[in-house]
Each structure stands twice: as C-alpha cells, then as structure tokens.
Amino acid sequence: MRTLLIVLGAILSLLVLAVLAGPMLVDWNAFKPRLAAAVEQATGRQLEITGDLSLSILPTPTLSAEGASLSNVAGGSEPTMVSLKTLEVQVALGPLVGGDLKIKSLVLVQPRILLERLADGRVNWDLAPPKAAPAAAPAATQAPAGQAGSTAPAQQPAAQQPAAPAASGGGGEPLSVSLQQVRIEDGTLVYRDAVAGREEKVEALNATLKADSLRGPFQIEGKAQARGTAASFTASTGQLALAGATPVTLTLTLPELGATEARFTGDLTAGEAPKAAGDLTVKGKNLLVLLDFAAPGSDLPGGLAQPFALSGRLAYGDDKLGLSAIDLSMADSAVGGKTSVTFGKPTDLEVALTVSRLDLDSLLADGGGGGQDPAPVPSFSLPAGLRASVDLQVDTLVWRREIVRQVLVNADLQDGRVALNQALALLPGGGNVVLSGNLTAEQHQPHFVGRLEATADNLRAIMGWLGVDAGAVPSDRLRRASLLANVDGTPQQASITGIDLEIDASRVTGGVALALRDRLGVGLGLTVDRINLDAYLPGGGPEAEAAQPAGKPKPAAQAQTQAQTQVQPEAKAGAGKAAEDQGQAAGQAVGQAAGQAGSPQQPAAATAPKGGVAGLLRAVDANIDLTLGQVTYNGQSARQVTLDGTLQQGRLTLRRLTVGDLAGGAFSLSGVFSGLPDAPSVEDGSFDISVTDTGRLSRLLGQPADGVLAQLGSFRASGSASGSAKGFSYNADVTALGGSIFSSGKVAGLPDQLKISDARLQASGVKGPALAKVAGLPADSPLARLDTVDLTSQFDYSAAEAHYDTRLKTLGAEFDAQGKAGDFASGLPSFDFRFAAIKDDFPALLRHLLGQSPLAPNAGKLDLRAQISGNPLQIKIADLKGDVGPTIESGTIEVALARARPFVKADLKTREIDLGRLFGDGGGGGADPAPRWSRQPIELGALRQVDAEFALDAKALRQGKLVLAPAALRGKLDGGVLTIDRLAGTFYDGRLEASGKLDASGDLAAATLAAKLAGADVGAFLHDQGSDRAKGRVDLDAELASRGNSPAALVTALGGQGKVGGELTIDVKAREEAGNVLLGILGKQVKELRGVTNPLNELFGAFAGQPGKLSGTIQVEGGVATTRDLQLAGNGARLESRGTLANLPAWTLSLNNALYKEGISDPQVEIDLTGALDQPNVRLKGTGLQITPGKSAPPAANPLEQLLQKALPGAQQQLQQPSDQLQITPDSQTDSQSDSQSQQQSSPPKPADILRGLIQGLGKKSN
C-alpha cells in the first residue's frame, strides 16, 4: 500500500502541475524518467512505461498510462514482478480547482502480479529502497485544521501515509487526497515457491474497492478463478483508527466446492505492532471436495463427503498467530484444541488437538475419493527455521467396527528433525502398540529411524479385527504375542532389524529389508527356534503341542530349547545378531538389485503383488536366509531346516535348501532356476535325500500308512538336472528296495511336445518282496515271490513314437522286449514289440510265481517268442513260437477289450502234447467216500467275465500209452456258455469225434457231451495193456447231459445214453479157456485148475479163435448207469450183463454177468457184482460150478477147487458144502492149509480189475 501511495502521489503531483501549466502545452512522456526515478528511489525497483502518458481535462480530468511494469527482485524467475496493460485515473475537477484531489476512480486493466519465494529464501515483495542512496523524505505539512480525513503524518502508520510530492513553484500547501473507487479488471496473481516446489495462480480477478477517504471505511468485493474453481470474496472495515482497533469483516465463498463459506469477524489494530483478533468460521456441505481442492491427488476417503463446520478464535499479535477454542464437527466426529505459530527465527508452531470420537468406518465407508494414481513423491524437506510440537489425542477411534482407545501422538520438530516421542494405541483384544523414533530429510527424501514395540493377549482377536481369518487355526493358538524391532525406512527402502517376535511357543529373531521400487525387493534374515505346524492346523490344539506361555525363555528353558533344536550354544546366543546382520545384508543386496529395476526418485506404491506365486515371482526380488531349528508336522519333526537363496528378475539362485534331520535322514537341494515363472530353467540343479525311516517321512508328508512311501523302507537318492522346458538333461541314483536304481536321459518339448531321448533305466538287485510291499500286493503275490530283479531299459520318446529295448532278469529267467509305441495323442497308444521269455525250468518258475505249478516237475523249459502289437483295447500276439512244456510251432492270440466282455481268440499249432509229462499222472484212490461229491458250489463266474474263440491243432495228445493223433480242438466261450464244437482225432486207429457244452450263463450250470469212437483197434489197445491174445474193432457212441452248481448236483442230475458194438477175436487154447477166464475174473493166476467139467471147458471154448460180436446199450438217469442188453456172442455161447453198471451218487453197483451155452436157457456160470464201486462183493454161481460133496479127487482132476483155494482163501470149506454157488465178500479171508507162506490179507477185486481180467483171461497165454 505504501508503494501504491507513493506512485499515486507522484502521478497526482504531475497532474496538479499539468493543470496549472496547461496540459496542451506539456509533453507528458518527458516525465517518465522522473517518475521512474521516484519509484526506484522508493522501492529499489525499476518502473518502465512502454506506452504513452496522457492527460485530459475535459469532461473529467483523466491521467492514463499504457504498458507499465515494475521489475522483479534480482534472481527472480521472471524479470517483471508487476505489469499492467492500462492505468487510468479520473479526478473530480471541482475539488481540484479548490485545492483538493478527489480521485473518482482508479482502474487497473489486466494487471499481473508475481509473488515468489526464491530458493535462497528471499521474497520479491520486499520493496526496500536502495541502502546506498537513501532518498530524503518529502516535506510533510500539517493539514488545515478541521479538514475532514486529515491526519498528521507523524501520527499515521508508515504504510498508511499517502505520498504527497511538493507542488511546483514551492511554498504551497499539500493537496488533500481522497479515493472514491478502485477497480481491477481481468487481473492475475501468481504465487511461486521455489523452496516447496509449488505454484498457485489466481486468474480472472475482478474486484472493486470503495472508500469515502483514504482512511475508510473500505468495502471490497470481487470474483476470481483459482485452480479452475470460481470464488467470490468481500471485505469491509470501519474507519481506520489512529489508535486502537479497526473492525474488519472478511468472507470467502466457494460455490463449486460444496458451497463452502469462510468468515472472519474481528478487530484489526495497526501500528508498529499490528494485531488482529476475531472469530473464524468455516462451513460447507462437502469437506471432501474442499480438501481435494486444497491437496489435489491425495486420494482421500469418500466418507469425508459430508457437511462440516469449523469455528475458533483467531488471534494475531506480537508475531504470533493462533487459533484457539477449535471446534470441528462432522457427522459423529468432533475435534477440539488449539494451534499457534510464532514467527521469528526460528518460527515456533504448537498444535494440541483432542478428538473425543473419530469414526474412521464412516469416513472410509465409500473407499477412496478420487481414485487417481498416487502422485509422485515430491522433494521432501523439513524447515530448518521451524520449531514445532504436536500433541494429538484421540479418546475413541472407531475402525473396522472395533474401538481403538487412547491414541496418543507426541512429536517435536527442531533443527530439521522430527522427534516422535511417542505414538501409542490400545488395540482391540488386549493389545497395544508403541512407536518412537526420529524423522529427518536426507537427499530430499524422508528418513525414519525408530523403535517398535507391540504386545497382544489375544492375537487371534486382533487378526480378526484386521480382517485376517484365523478360524481354521485351533482356538488355543495365536493367543499371546510380543514384538520388539528397530525400524529404519525411506520411500525407497525400509528395514526392520533386531526383530524379537514371540507367538505362542515360537520365537523369531533376525531382520527384514524392503526395497520399495516398481519391483519390490525383500531381504529376509530370520531364525525360528521351533514351530509346531500341527498345533496350527485344523484338528490341532493342546494334544498336538503342550501349552507353553509366550515370552522370553528363562535360562534353563532356553538351554532345553537349544538341546531340542540341536543348535550349538554359541551359535544360539548369536542367532539374533546373526539373523539381524543377515537381514541387513539381504536388504543391501536386494536394494542394489532393485535399484536396477526402477528410478531411485520414484518409489513404487506399497501394494501387495497379485497373482499368487506367479505374481510374486514377477513382482518381487528377494534375498533369503531362513533357519528353522525344529518344524513339527503330522507328529514328526524336521530339524535344522535352512534356506539360503536369491531371487532376482525371476532368477532364483538356491544356494542351499537343507534339512539336517528329516525322519532320521537328511535332504539338500541347490541350483539356479531362471525364467520364473513363465519359462523356467535350471542350471547345476542337484539334490540329495536319505531317509532311514520312510514311515516317519510318510507321516510327516501326510501320506497313508500303507502308501508307497511308507512301504519303501530306507532309501537314498541323489541326482542332478540342467536345462529348461525346451530341453534338459537329468540323472538320478537311488538306493532302495534292497538294490540300486539308476536313471538318466534328456527331456525336451515340455509341456505339449514332450520328447525324451537317450533315456536309460537300470535296476540291480531289487528285492521282489520289497517291490510287492511298495505296490501294496500281498506277501504271496507273484511279485513278492521274486528273489531279485535286474532291469535294463533304454528308450526314446516323442509325441509321435517311442522306441524301447528292455531286459528283465529274475528267478533265473530272462524276459526281453524290443519295439515301439505311438499314437499317444489318440488316447489309445499303439505298440509293436518283440517279446521273448527264457527259463530252463518252466514249472519251477510257475511254482515261484504262483506258489504251485499246474505243470509236472519235469514238464520242460520255457523258451517263448512272439510279436505283440495293438493298443490297450486291441492286442495281437503273433508269430508265437517256442516251448511252454509242449512246443508251439506257430500261433496267434488276439485280445479285444473294447467289448462289454473281453474277447480272446487263439489259434495254436503244436507238436505232440504229452499230458502225462505236462501235468503228471495225478493221484487217485484211497480217498474216503464222504467227500467224493462235494456240495460246494463250483466257481464258474470267470466264464461270464470273458468271451473266447479257440483252435488247437496238435500232432498228438498223449496220456501214457493213450494217444489221440493228430488232435484237433475247436470251441468258443460266449456269454458264459463254453462250447466244444469239435474234439477229433485218431484213437487206436479209430476215429474219435466229440463235442460238448457247459452253460454257466444262468444261476444253474448245464453241461452236455456227445462222443463217437468208430473202429478202434482192440488188439492195439490190449497190446499196450500187456496182452496180445485178442483183436478186433469196437465202436462207441454216447450222449450225456447234466445240470447243477456243485459236483454232487451234477452227478445226481447226470443222464443220457450210449451204445457199444464191434467184433472180438480171442486166440487161446481150449484147455486154457475156463481157468484163464475165471482167473481173469478173480484177478488171480493158478497153474492148475481142478474139478472143471468138460462142458464148462467147451462153453469157454466158444469164444476162442473166432470172432465174437459185441453189442449193447447203456442208459444213464439220475447219475445211475444201467444196461439190459450188453452181451458178447461167440460160437455156441454168449456172455450177457444186466443191471446197474454204476450208481455214481451212491458209489455202488449191482451187475449180473451170465454165461450161456447155446440151446440151454439157464446160465452155466453167473458172476454177481454188488456193493461199493471200488470194493464190490463178488458171488459166483451156476451149474458149471457143481462139485460132488465128500469125494476127494486128485489134484489134477479138480483145478477149479485149487483155483478158488489159492485165489480166494477160505473158499474151500464152502466148496465142500453141497451147493451150486460161491459167495466172495471183501472181508473173506482164511489160512491156506497147503501154503507154507505166512498169513496174508487178500485184496478184493475192483470192477476195473474184473473187466480187465475178463479180457486178459480170454486172450492171455498161460504160463
């Protein structure tokens, strides 16, 4: 104001001179130098008027100047401080003539004013005149007494003394000056602060000042634009008092900022020590938009968008500005207190605020305000010339629906350093946190160093309050916790060292470092004494870990902890310090690495990486040194766990990951893993693991007790790998299962075009029982019966085709497979390989594999070769050759698994199959009758599980001396129905054709059999049985059927019929016939027959030396075979058999065999067989056996008596009775009177022996 009055005084002085001298005769531009000199003398700045100075008298005296400017301070950002387009001053002519200067209007058009603070702290509005040439103050005269508005210069403040240049001509009284109106049109005000790096601009300033005189009262009103927002303002004062206070009222209205209105009403006292005091009120409808205007880009919470009101007592005096009795209200929050600032060197600032209730939930309910990206961190500094103290107290802070109490913040600023004396709060759940430290400005960035302390009686409650769900953790965990740590941080990096964290029974020491760049850097150097993961997993709790209070362990407890974790005492004592050093070193390394990723001047926003592990690998660099003394999981402990590695730009250098005690073993892993996570690769990767108790390891890993790992036993594995997903090589050595396993190869094309080349798998000395145990097979399984297994395999694999060459040796056998596989993409990979199996003792191999062998011990060797091809649903075994007991000359087997039931088709051609040699003669006889026909169901379910079609062509089927050659077998199995279409061949020069069926498709099995034998050579058959005295051809034809699910049921339901026919010729001598026939029947041989009559000899002679016709039929019903017409017709005699040939369910027979002489109706000899099939009763009768009682014949005359005596001991006494029949039971026995041999028990004849004896007796030569 003083400068303005000086300028106006000079201009008005010129105006008075011009009026007196005559404006038309004066060149006013000539006064520019004098005017500039006067301004420079008063302000020290240069005034420049580039336009014209002009003066007009009529109609109103008007002075105008164009293009005026005032220079800026030296070193300013611009050369001009004030500039204006036009200055126009109008004065009233009448008062001017009377000696008074009444300014009707002063108009400033487009003024531009620059106010700035330079980087060195100077301000450009300091307009002190030059010290070197001080200008003499103009003479001041006393205004006429009683003149309104006059004031003695000595009594006016310097800022309010109007400049009054002397009138020309000297000696005149000074003019009386009054100012009626000042207008500013389209003005601009710029404030620029080089220290803070900010600039503000007020544009479109239009204002009007009205005053009755230079002493007021004043009224000001105007409008402007600031930051694009319209503002209006008013000001009014009373008349400026020469002494005392002047009332002042100021208002500011911001209609676009929530209709905010600020008002000050008070008093202003001018003078050497100006003062001001009054009431300040600010109110509006939206605090958020006002704060966003004041601090753009701050992203304030949307909850601030609500009405507010601020009131207080504003006071200024003695260089101190204060606001007391503060009352800020908004919604449920209220703030009270006071603040003051005392200007000086240094300036003192005091803030003391009390918040009775602050509802952050309400303020933060709508999230962020603007949603803009955070603004770059500006250059930070703390004013060296400012001292400040802040004391903030919040009684009740509502956040996340819980109450935080007694929030206290006490801080001081002095000498460019903020001392945070204390910041504390009582948290929900019985917790508290205390922070203290110092904040400084280093390299234009904030730097905080402090100490953090926190405790919690219920950590899980605090976690729940913070939104961390701990519901899955047992309720007795996450209770007590405490933390001590040193904090050191800047916007670029932060470190937490000296960490001493205790949670429940675990203690963590060490340090953490963070590099806050675009790519977050993390350094960890931590030591955890122990952690029981079981206690924190669902289902854990007190039973998983004994409750132990948190807190620092006492010396004894600490020593016990050291022993448990197997950490040396000296190492344990320095663990915290070592971990802290590790954390600091890690932080430095990470900081250096992160510094390469982002600008040091632009720290990244503190946001957590997204995208899980993959996002973490992309966004974070890390240097980790982690040690865990003991980790308990699933009831098992792992000790001395260490992790040492560096993650940088997706490259993980894993120096070591070790477990010193892993279920009685150890584990280590190292290598360099690059390209994480998108294109992983490994360099020099290696691992080594040894485990003595895999049961413990399986429990540690949560695997089942009967799983593969638990059954593995002790093992050791080591190996290495190098490469990437495009291609890597590997090798591994495993010692396990009683042997060693080696594997190596090269892998490429992961994951879609997998290719394996030069792969090798070699196993040596692996134990079969151990393999079976791992596979979950029983101890009697074929795999468990192997002794050792040696395997060698080489293979190559690609998505199109795989080639392999594999050899397996076990139990003295060798199995080879060489071939290829392909079509993997189809889901049904194809294969084609050559298979070979060799073993010198095939039955022994089967006994080892199956526990027993269906083959006889001398069945032979295994030497089999075949070509196997197809896919998992269609398998073909071709070119089948070799020995499997019998020799297969050629064969093909096809298996189809895509049907509802698997289908097998076999076609085999073999050499002779010796069934006796292959399967043995088997046992027989001597078994008790009781279990003869079991009632246990026959298991026929397997017949319903598979369908088949088979063909067998053998050069011969042999059972002892019985040979079917060649033999052809054709059949099929369909839906549980086994059909033998044909069993054919030559049997003793006769043709055998047989067929049959077993239907197991329903609940009741049904079986049928049809067989025909035509022209079988009886002579050849008897020759093989040891007889050569009979010959002929025999035909047999039989059909049988039965139903049932057990042997007993099948026998009981057996039915059918058969017939026999043919011719027999017996070559014997007449005198041999009767005796040999009888001896054949009785199964004995005696050299002499006594008492046989000539008619009987003639009867037997009818069958000797000439063909006899054999005929008859057999009927079977209910398991009982009977005949009514079985006979052998000779020359003048016949032998007829009638009765039950066999009652199979009862295991009995009842058969009458009668020998007839032609023309005689009564039989000459009858042989009745009754009783058990294997021990029948034999009874002989007939007229041919009559002997006269009481007569003793010579030995040669009674051969039959001698025969019976020797063949049937005890029969002699019966023969002495007058009878025509002889009964022999299985129990008959006596002492022989003529035999000097010791007593012996006779063996009763069996049906087979009787029939065989009959035939042999008819044809065998006597001795």
Distances (CA, A) of 444 to 381, 383, 441, 688: 6, 12, 6, 51
677 conformational bin, left if phi > 0, alpha if psi -120 to 50, beta if neither: alpha
With 0-12 / 13-18 / 19 or more C-beta atoms within 10 angstroms meaning exposed / middle / buried, residue 1091 is buried
Q: At what angle do helices 1094-1101 and 1073-1082 cross, to 10 degrees?
A: 80
Among candidates 1061, 1033, 1010, 1085, which has minimal Cα distance to 1262?
1085
Q: What is the pLDDT of residue 1131?
A: 83
pLDDT class for 1029, splitting at 50, 70, 90?
confident
What is the pLDDT averaged over residues 43-50? Answer: 86
| Residue scoring higher pLDDT (951 or 138) | 951
Q: Is the pLDDT of residue 146 over 50?
A: no
- Asked whether residue 484 carries a pLDDT value surpassing 50, the answer given is yes
1052-1062 pLDDT tens trace: 999 999 999 99
Give, as one character, the DSSP assignment of residue 128: P
pLDDT top residue among 399 and 950: 950
Look at residue 553 and tell me whether its pLDDT is greater than 90: no
The pLDDT value recorded for residue 720 is 93
pLDDT at 1184: 62
Q: Bigger pLDDT: 473 or 509?
A: 509
Model confidence at 611, in pLDDT bands (50, 70, 90)?
low
What is the reported pLDDT for 577? 47
* Whole-Å CA distances, 540 to 463, 564, 633: 19, 21, 10
Examine the pLDDT at 272 and tell me if it is beyond 80: no
User: What is the pLDDT at residue 1132?
Assistant: 83
Higher pLDDT, 94 or 89: 89
Asked if 1123 and 1112 touch (Cβ cutoff 8 Å), the reply is yes
Give the per-residue pLDDT at 1236.
37
- What CA–CA distance (Å, rounded) separates 1072 from 762? 78
Of the given ranges (482-491, 542-551, 712-721, 1117-1126), which has the lowest mean pLDDT?
542-551
Average pLDDT of the residues in 65-77: 89
Instruction: Give the mean pLDDT of 260-275.
Output: 87
pLDDT band at residue 664 under the 50/70/90 scheme: confident
pLDDT category at 148 given cuts 50, 70, 90 is very low
How many angstroms separate the Cα of 40 from the Cα of each of 43, 112, 129, 163, 349? 5, 19, 7, 14, 37
Instruction: Average the pLDDT over 263-284 and give the result.
Output: 88
**What is the model's pLDDT at position 893?**
94
pLDDT at 416: 86
Query: Which amino acid makes up residue 654?
Result: L
The more confident residue out of 859 and 866 is 866
Helix runs in 295-351, H state only: none
Supply the pLDDT for residue 518: 81
User: pLDDT at position 1214, please?
Assistant: 40
Q: Which SS3 state, helix, strand or coil, does residue 895 take?
A: strand
Q: How confident is the model at residue 1263 (pLDDT cuts 50, 70, 90)?
A: very low
The residues spanned by each domain of the chain are 2-128+174-194+202-226, 241-363, 398-555+574-605+616-653, 654-724, 1054-1231+1242-1259
Over the chain, what is the mean pLDDT?
A: 78
d(CA 429, CA 481): 12
How does pLDDT run across 332-347, given as a tens digit for each residue?
788 999 999 988 888 8
Q: What is the rounded distance in angstroms from the CA atom of residue 279 to the CA atom of residue 265?
A: 5
The predicted pLDDT at position 1205 comes to 42
In this prediction, residues 413-442 reach a mean pLDDT of: 92
pLDDT reported for residue 176: 65
Distances (CA, A) of 1030 to 78, 338, 954, 1063, 1259: 149, 144, 30, 10, 5
Mean pLDDT value of segment 516-545: 81
The per-residue pLDDT for range 1216-1251, each reduced to its tens digit, is 444 444 444 444 433 333 343 433 444 444 444 444
What average pLDDT does range 321-325 have in this prediction?
92
The dihedral sign for the CA sequence 567, 568, 574, 579:
negative
User: Does the bond joining 346 to the residue before it have cis omega, within 30 degrees of 0?
Assistant: yes
Mean pLDDT of all residues in 832-850: 88
Higher-confidence residue of 291 and 606: namely 291
Residue 1065 confidence (pLDDT): 82
Q: What is d(CA 513, CA 624) in angstroms, rounded to the nearest whole number?
A: 10
Average pLDDT over residues 935-954: 91
CB 175 within 8 A of CB 189: no
Specify the range with the lowest mean pLDDT, choosing from 405-419, 774-788, 996-1010, 1108-1122: 774-788
pLDDT for position 245: 85
Mean pLDDT for 514-522 is 87
User: How many angstroms from the chain centroid is the CA of residue 41?
Assistant: 85
Q: How many CB atoms lie within 10 A of CB 581?
A: 16
pLDDT at 5: 54
Q: Which pLDDT value is given to residue 573?
A: 37
Q: Report the range of poorest mean pLDDT among 350-354, 461-465, 570-574, 794-798.
A: 570-574
pLDDT of residue 187: 92
Region class of 28: left (phi > 0), else alpha (psi between -120 and 50), else beta = alpha
User: Which range is least confidently modeled, 335-339, 591-595, 1044-1048, 1130-1134?
Assistant: 591-595
Reported confidence tier of residue 650, pLDDT bands at 50, 70, 90: confident
Q: Which residue has the higher pLDDT, 142 or 877?
A: 877
